[in-house]
Structure 1
Amino acid sequence: MRRALREYAFNTLRRGQAPPEVAVILRWVQRNSLSMAAWEDESTVETGLRAAMTKLDGTPVAAGSARRTKRVLNVLFEYAIKKKVLKENPLPKGQGASTTASKTSSAVDKRSLLNSEQAAKLLGWIYGRPRGGRRPHTFFAAMYYAGARPEEVVAIDVGDVRLPAADADDQWGELLLHTAHPEVGRQWTDTGEVREERGLKGRAADDTRTVPCRPALTRILRAHIEKEGLKPGDLLMQGEKGGDLAGSVIRRAWRRARKEVLNSYEFGTPLGRRVYDHRHTFLTNWLNAGVPAATVAEWAGNSVPVLLATYARCIDGQLDGLKHRIERAGELPDPTMPRG
């Protein structure tokens, strides 16, 4: 039933393509579903919210899932009001105990961050894979050294990689980011491709972001471009048959690397569990190196408040200097010390 609803009923592109066995399920759902008028009854609203905030085993859903579900319901009801199916949004405006989800935190779990030795071992293992290791290695290196989002890395055009002269691999370059290719799923895109082309997250459709390309990444990208025979207009990160590098390939390579490189304890912890943890690791490194938050936010494509709320708990290595500053600011004379 879930597959019938997700892949056909909720997908306007495929709604009329449901096979006979799926059509039978959808007709049953239609006959047994309440009309939208049911949402005008407060008890129905409470029952629906309680069900939405509970897993099948009776335990509460994660706070993030609850928040996301409420957001989806709000969009649904606002659309129903627009289409004059409902007169008002039935979701409670207050913070009733029965419907309030636990607070969520956007802060990064410090346990998920990699140190340089761990990152080097993981990327080294991926690079040495007998088949197809070089491309994922370039992808992970770009995430680690440039702090870009996965959907931004796979969308980089070779022409947007500004490298120094061939005899200056110890110099910095630049990456110009202006497009993202997030994974959406074939059934949800107009083109039938897994990924969809979009602008950068939280920015205007034609906006561009410049990210510094340190010498270590310069060497990796230059070697990758030369080995693959790429030229401006080509995607920097390509799959074996061309086109976008598949997310399944990326995740499979990373899972295998963690299993092979990390010890049993580390493997069971959040350490680098998600591909996105590369971005978290390097943005934290930038902040710990003393790069101003406004500059890191610009390179990362975040606002300063979001950046600080996300990474404040991970900033480290500056405590001693801050203690000395505090001591020098407004220190009162010690009455037990002799004056002279």
Structure 2
Amino acid sequence: MWNKNRQWQTLEKLPATERGYTAASVIRNRLAEHAKWGTLTEDIINDLCGNDDAPKTTPTFLDYARLYLKQASVGKSTLREYAKSLDKYWIPPWYQREIHTITAKEVRTLIADIIWSSEKTRNNNLIPLRGVFEIALDDKVIETNPVEKIKNTKHQAPPPDPFSREDMEQLLTWLYKNKQDAPVYWLYFEIAFWTGMRTGELLALTWSDIDFDAGLIKVSKVMSDGEVVHQTKTAEYRDVFFNARSEDSLKRLKAIRSTVSDRLFMSPRFVNSPWQTDKTPRRALTEAMKATGIRHRATYTTRHTFITNCLTDGLNIYFVAKQTGHSVRTLETRYARWIDVSKARSEIAKLNTGKG
């Protein structure tokens, strides 16, 4: 159905065989998809159906920008960032342009003329731009992707800024003493500091994810924009093993668990209301940092602190990678300083300092 009418196409170039029927089904599904999202044009019909002699009415960049946003398989927050990027940088100069007329030279020139706040910002804004041209290429509306040979530039990410072990213990002690009426705050950060889990992973936890017999947490989902997404950041399931501190905290938390919700972290202010974002625990940590005089950091710093503590104590880097959902390469590059400290301690211990 298109424009409220049933559309029929004869695919004269396809043989009446099982293989031809399969190819026809693929073409039909692509046409139906475009019709569903309001991006179907005569040009797309002619290209997909092999009507080479039909007049061309190629869709615009804006048509494919809209289609890209409707098809993108990303979380809500990421989709919002992609929409902002397209609206700010890419749609204004090209929204009326037929997408097949945009050249690689034009793309390179526009990218070069924009004053980017950082190389990372530049690279991130190229992601939706590439996506727009990729689906146009898939539909054979364009012959080449003008962004294909434009590479990401190298950028130096700021090094992790973890809490020291003393600062961590001071913060946890303050939360324990000053949040007696709401122990969930202290327990949340005990578990965060001693598992290294991402904020979204912690907020999405349910009691069915906690296996006390096996001594581990099953991480398979995240909280994103107030909704549970059944996929982790790396799209990989992993097990996070207990240590003495995290196990004790989980048992304490279970003793005060909600009888209505299966979620671990419930609001102490609103009955049967699980935390949807880290806004509430973040306030508690900010209060603790101010009270103790510890320099302000984001709640995500609990993850950096766990990783650096593991590496400084000499835990196997492959185990740490599996525990945290990082790649070994990321640990070796971003956390090299703490790995070197561990190795240095191991090596200096070999030095014979006994008197002859």
Given the two structures, how large is their TM-score scaled by the length of structure 2?
0.63
- 1:283-302 maps to which residues of 2 (within 5 A)? 283-302=307-326
Structure 2 CA distance for aligned equivalents of residues 89 and 314 of structure 1: 42
Identical-pair percentage: 21
1:322 aligned residue: 347
1:178 aligns with 2:219: yes
Of 106, 113, 126, 1:70 maps to 126
* Counterpart contact for 2:227–2:276, Cα < 8 Å: no
* Counterpart contact for 1:139–1:154, Cα < 8 Å: no
Structure 2 CA distance for aligned equivalents of residues 281 and 39 of structure 1: 51
- 1:221-236 maps to which residues of 2 (within 5 A)? 221-229=250-258, 234-236=262-264
- 1:1-340 maps to which residues of 2 (within 5 A)? 12=70, 33-37=95-99, 40-51=102-113, 53-54=114-115, 60-91=116-147, 93=149, 101=153, 103-105=154-156, 109-110=159-160, 112-129=161-178, 133-163=182-212, 174-183=215-224, 185=225, 194-204=226-236, 207=237, 209-229=238-258, 234-239=262-267, 240=270, 241-262=272-293, 266-267=295-296, 273-315=297-339, 316-323=341-348
Structure 2 CA distance for aligned equivalents of residues 277 and 142 of structure 1: 13
* Counterpart contact for 1:147–1:279, Cα < 8 Å: yes
Offset of residue 202 of structure 1: 2.5
Q: CA RMSD in A?
A: 3.6
* Counterpart contact for 2:190–2:245, Cα < 8 Å: no
* Counterpart contact for 1:38–1:44, Cα < 8 Å: no
Q: Determine helix, strand or coil for the equivalent of 2:227.
A: coil
* Counterpart contact for 1:155–1:179, Cα < 8 Å: no
Deviations 1:221-277 (A, max 9, x none): 21221123559x8111223342344322233333333333225xx34xxxxx22221
Output the amino acid matched with 2:301: D
Q: Determine helix, strand or coil for the equivalent of 1:228.
A: coil
Output the amino acid matched with 1:226: A
* Counterpart contact for 1:152–1:180, Cα < 8 Å: yes
Structure 2 CA distance for aligned equivalents of residues 44 and 132 of structure 1: 61
Structure 1 CA distance for aligned equivalents of residues 204 and 117 of structure 2: 34
Deviations 1:165-218 (A, max 9, x none): xxxxxxxx72222322232x3xxxxxxxx22322233244xx3x2222222222
Distance 1:43 1:94, change over 3 A: closer
Offset of residue 49 of structure 1: 0.9
Q: Determine helix, strand or coil for the equivalent of 2:229.
A: coil
Distance 1:175 1:230, change over 3 A: farther
Q: Determine helix, strand or coil for the equivalent of 1:87.
A: coil
Structure 2 CA distance for aligned equivalents of residues 36 and 196 of structure 1: 39
More relative contact order, 1 or 2 (CA 8 Å, 6+ apart): 1
Offset of residue 94 of structure 1: 6.0
Output the amino acid matched with 2:218: L
Q: Determine helix, strand or coil for the equivalent of 1:182.
A: strand
Distance 1:50 1:251, change over 3 A: farther
Structure 2 CA distance for aligned equivalents of residues 12 and 41 of structure 1: 24
* Counterpart contact for 2:215–2:241, Cα < 8 Å: yes
Structure 2 CA distance for aligned equivalents of residues 179 and 278 of structure 1: 20
* Counterpart contact for 2:192–2:302, Cα < 8 Å: yes
Offset of residue 323 of structure 1: 5.0
Offset of residue 300 of structure 1: 1.4
Structure 1 CA distance for aligned equivalents of residues 192 and 273 of structure 2: 20
Output the amino acid matched with 1:227: I
Distance 1:9 1:298, change over 3 A: closer
Output the amino acid matched with 1:236: L
Distance 1:180 1:261, change over 3 A: farther
Gapped regions of structure 1 (runs ≥ 5): 1-7, 14-24, 55-59, 165-172, 186-193, 268-272, 329-340
Offset of residue 44 of structure 1: 2.9
Structure 1 CA distance for aligned equivalents of residues 285 and 69 of structure 2: 31
Given the two structures, how large is their TM-score scaled by the length of structure 1?
0.66
* Counterpart contact for 1:154–1:237, Cα < 8 Å: yes
* Counterpart contact for 1:157–1:236, Cα < 8 Å: yes
Distance 1:288 1:31, change over 3 A: closer
* Counterpart contact for 1:152–1:177, Cα < 8 Å: no
Structure 1 CA distance for aligned equivalents of residues 169 and 326 of structure 2: 26
